[in-house]
Amino acid sequence: MGRRKKGVKIDGWINLHKPVGVTSTQMVGKIRWALGAQKAGHGGTLDPLASGILPIALGEATKTVNFVQDAMKTYIFDVTWGEQRTTDDAEGQIIQSSDKRPTLDEINTILGKYIGDIDQLPPQFSAIKVDGERAYDIARDGDVADIQSREVYIEALNVLDHKGDITTFECHCGKGTYIRSLARDMGQDLGCFGFISALKRTKVGAFTLENAISLDFFDKLRDNTHQDVTHTEVSYEDVVLPLQTVLDDIPVLALKESEATRLKNGQGLTFIARPDIERLNKAQILWQEDEGDIALAMFNDKPIAMVEVIGGNIRSLRVFNI
């Protein structure tokens, strides 16, 4: 018999508003402790100096983290002009400085260069691995990491405010985009250098800042109700979003009870009969035309598995133990 896991089995997502000054890993620990959850993770790192949306996955939701990491994200950030820093943000040491300050017209002129698919060089202080070692560890040792540029996607980049040394931007971008690199590159293009002095993530896929929950809520929850992690009286419905929250844009396949049982047992399904084909089409999975579709299989409004539909065959990719 396997060892019994400590804590409460909670499956779902927390839309957390991370404050400045704490790491993403620290946030995971705080939420897990406050709720007494067995398992938790996050859907994309925010630097300590950044605030905003940090999706926290609980229990079986950790199996869907990749869908959050791949989602489009929106940031509001300040670039302070006139200095280049080692970390490309306010924590770093000054490398170079300039007395030049860009005008609003100059800034707007270069923005088009950063729209669409662009090549971007990640910061030296980043979590990217170079020959098995994190780039930030190499940089801390005083060496230069051989980081390769990579393609990222930026859908929109706009100026929200411009006052003297500081310009506020809003950016809507895809996976892997470094806002610190964006500030660095714009500063170089404008001939004045620049670094991130404030950064807030306002949207991650289905998660928005408007309905995010503050850390204070969980601090109070822990202090008032968290006496025993296995016997906490918490109304999870008030704060925990369904696992499928991050799968809104993925087709849903409604299962019969026997089909749900087969998928949970690791067995595949075959759909041949006409009623099944109609059911698939209602689920928006046109496997007859587009092979290899991914769908969320559900039974009685409960997530059963992430599945792949190829031809008339369906196989489990991830099974949810809910």
Active site residue 223: no
Give dist(CA 176, CA 246) in Å, integer. Answer: 18
- Residue 29: which H helix or E strand, with range? helix 24-35
Catalytic pick among 47, 78, 88, 293: 47
Q: What's the count of helices (H) and strands (E) in the chain, helices before strands?
A: 8, 19
Helix locations, 199-282, DSSP H: 215-225, 257-264, 274-282
Sorted by sequence, the CB contacts under 8 Å of residue 19 that are 6+ apart come out as 51, 214, 215
Cβ-in-10-Å burial (0-12, 13-18, 19+) of 168 comes to middle
Strands 150-163, 166-173: pairing is antiparallel
Question: Active-site positions?
Answer: 47
